[in-house]
Structure 1
């Protein structure tokens, strides 16, 4: 793609922090072409529906489904959910959908990150996920623009106070943005997301799907405060490497300063020591508690069947968000496919003057 980098200067648009009020949440009903095994797909859809019901209790829910699967989706999802017939392949709407921006004066914009299948990975089926961000924006009635780089929603976390977290392994990867420099990427983020400071983490090379998205590593609780994945070494070669990467990312966070010059207060979320079934042999299994969704008044977070670790993670997140109700859901089937709750959800923020209710 041809890059046209923005000039320096103030921007109209900004990406709100995820804890600010949402007009709704978007999810995507996966097609059989993306999950051809019927047993696996049923398990994924069961977990998907549980997430949908949990989120719908807090805010309006929109679900994109291919036209031929609208009836299946309608039968499985909350009656309050609004369904939208659009072509798509998989459920990872955080990455395939747009990032919604606001200007603080009643304006909104949907930004497409030019999804290229996480660096041309051989995973998508029909190719319908590539134009999904643009199509969804049109369906939502929001103007859409295309960023001058390739990225995904899961590669971005903002604090709403000028700071953005990203990883080098994802944003600067040759499979997305050949030759892109830190400075060029930062110019794009400043212009389109309204941030002032970009904090770069090393990321992860063992994450062979997303190449180390930030939403499996760390997230903001509020400006200056973070939750971060701790190191969990299961004794395997890949477990040792994962623990090493976690230490490196945590060290980078400890040394960083945000847009206001603050160091970060960091609470860690260690992964489960016991994984369900054959998950221990699945290098793609995504067992990060930090990959959760912040709904209006609630947190929808994963559980993995390790009672001790699940409870500890829930307690840590409950302390971080004392004014929100925490709902924990077993997502084994989704985690086996390399993602979590944050990966399959995309918030649409309230624009100036809107009022939102869960049953809207």
Structure 2
């Protein structure tokens, strides 16, 4: 019997947490790059705030910049930060058997103790957000990030072996050990394992393969997946592999999955190489879907697919190009709190 249950992202939400960029590679090397980052985080926050209150964690040194970009659109909490990827540094909120709110602390360690990452401050954020929400903090026995999991709220999870079995996170761990912890802390009885994430996300400055850029549940039994249709892009093979696994999978209730391909943007490369631009990395929040856009010909088609996948919700595209240049998307910088 599981102690906790993680609600689906489509369930009603109390608020969304974000963290404002304040330094390092996220701000970039120039004043122009820094303003581009701040402006993009602010655009996402303003889009979310149309549907759900936003609490922005802000490093004290960045408070004036945050208030300049966001004004009264969000509430502020001053906390020391290394970076701004709230999905990963923040807790995952769950409910206990009596319905009480709990917060899973995944022991964040810089995406597997990557050489370029700093996490001394960020490793404390899960506990601090739990306290802000007056939620019971629960330490996990494994290292994970919020971007490494996606659940349907009925016992099924999507995850990648490249993240959960990463020796930088969980050295020596087995699938069964990881599954046991997900069962205990998230109420998951079935993990659908994908091998890896997208190509760029597995490179030096990636997460080693977060699932929330590859596939997600739109509803129990319904999975959206990243469909790279251009055979010259290495993610073409990743998409085929993901589709093959999902076609053979069943969920915790024994159902075959209905698969919805979401075409990748037509943009294939930037100055750093193959891009991992993906429409899968969106946020569902109350009456809205905050969707990635890229000034790409496929933006409109992706928005239509998301509108059909989440009926009754407004799809709000936000240009996520600057986010992806820094290693993630809209889902990566947001973290939901279930409605009490």
TM range (shorter): over 0.9
Residues 18-53 of structure 1, C-alpha deviations (whole Å, 9 max, x = no match): 000001000000112342422212111111111101
C-alpha contact (below 8 Å) 2:108/2:119 kept by paired residues: no
Look up the SS of the partner of 1:177 in the other structure: coil
Structure 1 residues 68, 133: CA separation in 2 closer, same or farther (over 3 Å shift)?
A: same
Counterpart-to-counterpart distance in 2, 1:43 and 1:304 = 14
C-alpha contact (below 8 Å) 1:23/1:349 kept by paired residues: yes
Q: Name which of 97, 102, 105 aligns with 1:109.
A: 102
Correspondence 1:143 to 2:136: yes
C-alpha contact (below 8 Å) 2:5/2:186 kept by paired residues: yes
User: Equivalent residue for 1:326?
Assistant: 315
Counterpart-to-counterpart distance in 1, 2:274 and 2:112 = 16
User: Equivalent residue for 1:173?
Assistant: 166
Counterpart-to-counterpart distance in 1, 2:42 and 2:140 = 32
C-alpha contact (below 8 Å) 2:109/2:119 kept by paired residues: no
User: Equivalent residue for 1:303?
Assistant: 293
Q: Decide which moves more: 243-252 or 205-214.
A: 205-214
Structure 1 residues 142, 16: CA separation in 2 closer, same or farther (over 3 Å shift)?
A: same
Structure 1 residues 322, 231: CA separation in 2 closer, same or farther (over 3 Å shift)?
A: same
C-alpha contact (below 8 Å) 1:284/1:336 kept by paired residues: no
Within-5 A mapping of 1:7-86: 10-34=1-25, 35-37=27-29, 38-86=31-79
Structure having the larger proportion of residues in strand: 2
Structure 1 residues 200, 349: CA separation in 2 closer, same or farther (over 3 Å shift)?
A: same
User: Equivalent residue for 1:3?
Assistant: none
C-alpha contact (below 8 Å) 1:86/1:136 kept by paired residues: no
Correspondence 1:214 to 2:211: yes
Within-5 A mapping of 1:148-297: 148-204=141-197, 206=199, 207-208=202-203, 209-233=206-230, 235=232, 239=233, 241-274=234-267, 280-283=270-273, 285-297=275-287
Counterpart-to-counterpart distance in 2, 1:30 and 1:123 = 17
C-alpha contact (below 8 Å) 1:162/1:194 kept by paired residues: yes
User: Aligned-residue CA RMSD in angstroms?
Assistant: 1.6
Counterpart-to-counterpart distance in 2, 1:27 and 1:145 = 20
C-alpha contact (below 8 Å) 1:285/1:338 kept by paired residues: no
User: Equivalent residue for 1:312?
Assistant: 301
Q: Decide which moves more: 18-27 or 73-82.
A: 73-82
Q: Decide which moves more: 324-333 or 226-235.
A: 226-235
Correspondence 1:342 to 2:331: yes
Counterpart-to-counterpart distance in 1, 2:198 and 2:327 = 14
Gaps of 5+ in 1: 1-9, 352-360
Look up the SS of the partner of 1:150 in the other structure: coil
Counterpart-to-counterpart distance in 2, 1:224 and 1:99 = 22
Gaps of 5+ in 2: none
C-alpha contact (below 8 Å) 1:291/1:342 kept by paired residues: yes
Structure 1 residues 281, 72: CA separation in 2 closer, same or farther (over 3 Å shift)?
A: closer
Residue 104 of structure 1: how far off its partner (Å): 5.9
